[in-house]
Structure 1
Amino acid sequence: MDMSVKWPNGARCAVALTFDFDAETLWLSRDPSNARRPGTLSMGQYGAKVGVPKILETLGDAGVKGTFFVPGWTVENHTDRAEMILKGGHEIGHHSYSHAWPDPDAPEKDIEEMEKGLESLKRVLGVVPKGYRSPAGETTDELVRQLDKHGFLYDSSMMGDVNPYRLPHPDGGRQLVELPYHWSLDDAPFVLFSVKTPRPIMTNSHIREVWQEEFKEIHRWGGFYNLVMHPQLSGRPSRIALLREMIAFIRGFEGVWFATCSEIAEAWAAQEQR
């Protein structure tokens, strides 16, 4: 089965370097009582204070663009960092308002998170996002309806393929481009640790092997590689080195196209229509 995609300029593989800039929302949305735990919140603060600037520096040195999915709360409380992302020429996508996990039994909350987050992006940054990623990769039929209603180009919350595909609409409406990801290409399962939810912290060599082996086969297939990172995790010193090493590794293959998610979604939609 031929799964290759006709990417621009004859590229064999499209690569998206994506970053979920959750900051403190990652911890506040999981447990509101964390508002009284400054040690826990400091992990999210690190992502804004150190992680984002170091990631931007690394991307700038490599001459590649990334896509940052940013909750509205983060935009309001770390405006300078969000502005740094835009000044670097990177894309900002929608990532809810407070990083609350979507709830299929509470569609009104999905609508509130969508609209409040959109308002923050537009008011604070002047950004009308083309793409959306749901917190923790969870989504609902109501969220899909909201993405259609607000005219989004793409979603990046699903895992239904390796290559982009059309996101089914629950009511038969407009189908967005879906840019799928997978937990194996997300840094969180490997390094997201807290005292209340402990898990092993994997070495760079372990993560590198998973990420590189996945890339080699996706490149062989001729597909789409969607790497998901979080500034408070991949912004740590050794993880910045891993990001730098991954960019160099990927560049060692022929026919690689680094692009923002919106560029990839637009290119895939264009080749779909040929």
Structure 2
Amino acid sequence: MSYDLSPRPLNPAPKAPPMIWPNGARSALFIGFDVDAETAWIGNNPSNVDRMVTTSHGGYDARVGIAKILQLMDELSLKATFFTPGWTALAHQAACEDILKGGHEIGHHGYLHKMPDRERLDETFEEIDRGFDALKTALGVRPVGYRAPSGENFPELLAYLAKSGVRYSSSFRDDILPYRHAGQGDQEGLVEIPVNFAFDDWNFGMSSRTSPRPIFGRDAVLSLWIDEFEATHAWGGVTTMVLHPQVSGRPMRWHLLRDFLLHARQKSDVWIATGREIADHFETLEERHRRSTMATVGRTAGPE
């Protein structure tokens, strides 16, 4: 396969439009969880399925992590989006049903958490279809939001997601405001709610015997999150979190997350919303701008 390496913006999406957040808020906070469970360990490395200690990292989700995260969300009266692989929903149906019972949004996160591959489009699209089918079977839902497993995407996948009824993505890392992806043909692109990589708890709280790396303590992570949140708030952006119950559902990290959310919640001018709510708001502003532009053009044109 040849690659086009000509100099150009590799994301052709137009620049993010100015954002007016609801109720006079200065910024938004999007609390997103990736409920990977064991798929984090077997999706891209299927041989791990027979390594029970390795996969037990992911098994923590259903045994402890999901329930503790839901307890925290209930304690703080917050709603979140839980991006859930189809395999997870089928393997741990009761735990995932509790997410819905808590009033939270379910997002699409593939079927087996396989990284999307542009050179294997059939396999990539099958992951999307199987994910939809599994979430419908296990939970009776068809998500409108998508977060790419292992955080990868490409134009054909964006187009397939839009064709499948997905309205927003939360995977890209190239802005602090929501924007609209470039569409293909007559098809409108997805709304993107970009991620801040500093808020991916996996970077600080997960290691394993097969890929050891340092684990960071409370003070280092909490100060980073607060500083990044405060700066994003000052710039009027959206702070998008990529959290995992098998990380932030661990005892110390549960308290770390709680302390951060308490800090964010104490501000009166932060809108804490689900991905669907942010996408709805973006589309409302888009439509308002479209109507305003049409009215201005009509007044300028005048009668014939």
TM range (shorter): over 0.9
Query: What amino acid is aligned across from residue 56 of structure 2 in structure 1?
Result: S
CA contact (8 A) 1:3 1:222 kept: no
Q: Scaled by the length of structure 1, what TM-score is found? A: 0.96
Indicate whether 1:157 and 2:174 are aligned: no
Indicate whether 1:173 and 2:187 are aligned: yes
Q: Please give the root-mean-square deviation of Cα atoms over the aligned residues, in Å.
A: 1.5
Which of 12, 18, 21 is equivalent to 2:35? 21
Task: State how far apart, in whole Å, the 2-side matches of 1:192 and 1:112 are.
Answer: 29
Task: State how far apart, in whole Å, the 1-side matches of 2:119 and 2:142 are.
Answer: 28
Which of 44, 47, 51 is equivalent to 2:65? 51
> Per the alignment, in what secondary structure is the counterpart of residue 239 of structure 2?
strand
Asked which structure has the greater RCO (Cα within 8 Å, sep 6+), the reply is 1
User: What percentage of residue pairs aligned between the two structures are identical?
Assistant: 44
Task: State how far apart, in whole Å, the 1-side matches of 2:246 and 2:185 are.
Answer: 38
1:140 Cα deviation after fit: 2.2
1:253 Cα deviation after fit: 2.1
CA contact (8 A) 1:71 1:94 kept: yes
Segment drifting more, 110-119 vs 133-142: 133-142
The unaligned stretches of length 5 or more in structure 1 are none
Indicate whether 1:208 and 2:222 are aligned: yes
> Per the alignment, in what secondary structure is the counterpart of residue 30 of structure 1?
coil
> Per the alignment, in what secondary structure is the counterpart of residue 69 of structure 1?
strand
1:172 Cα deviation after fit: 6.3
Which of 38, 44, 51 is equivalent to 1:37? 51
1:171 Cα deviation after fit: 5.0
CA deviation string 1:22-59 (max 9, x = no partner):
00000001321111111011110111210000000000
CA deviation string 1:177-216 (max 9, x = no partner):
1000022111111122011111100011111111111100
Which of 94, 100, 104 is equivalent to 2:108? 94
Indicate whether 1:77 and 2:91 are aligned: yes
Query: What amino acid is aligned across from residue 128 of structure 2 in structure 1?
Result: M
1:170 Cα deviation after fit: 5.0
Task: State how far apart, in whole Å, the 1-side matches of 2:240 and 2:92 are.
Answer: 25
Task: State how far apart, in whole Å, the 2-side matches of 1:169 and 1:273 are.
Answer: 17
Which of 195, 210, 220 is equivalent to 2:234? 220
> Per the alignment, in what secondary structure is the counterpart of residue 264 of structure 1?
helix
Task: State how far apart, in whole Å, the 1-side matches of 2:224 and 2:233 are.
Answer: 14
Which of 249, 261, 266 is equivalent to 1:252? 266
Change (3 A) 1:215 1:178: same
Task: State how far apart, in whole Å, the 2-side matches of 1:14 and 1:246 are.
Answer: 14
Query: What amino acid is aligned across from residue 202 of structure 1 in structure 2?
Result: F
Indicate whether 1:271 and 2:290 are aligned: no
Task: State how far apart, in whole Å, the 2-side matches of 1:170 and 1:34 are.
Answer: 38
Change (3 A) 1:170 1:104: farther
The structure having more radius of gyration, on CA atoms, is 2
CA contact (8 A) 1:233 1:239 kept: yes
> Per the alignment, in what secondary structure is the counterpart of residue 273 of structure 1?
helix
CA contact (8 A) 1:111 1:142 kept: no
> Per the alignment, in what secondary structure is the counterpart of residue 102 of structure 1?
coil
CA deviation string 1:47-82 (max 9, x = no partner):
121000000000000000010000000000000011
1:3 Cα deviation after fit: 8.0
The unaligned stretches of length 5 or more in structure 2 are 1-15, 289-304
Partner residue of 2:137? 123
Query: What amino acid is aligned across from residue 199 of structure 1 in structure 2?
Result: R
Which of 168, 171, 188 is equivalent to 2:202? 188
Task: State how far apart, in whole Å, the 2-side matches of 1:199 and 1:191 are.
Answer: 10
> Per the alignment, in what secondary structure is the counterpart of residue 209 of structure 1?
helix
Runs of 4+ in 1 over 4 A off after TM superposition: none
Q: Scaled by the length of structure 2, what TM-score is found? A: 0.87
Query: What amino acid is aligned across from residue 66 of structure 2 in structure 1?
Result: V
CA contact (8 A) 2:114 2:150 kept: no
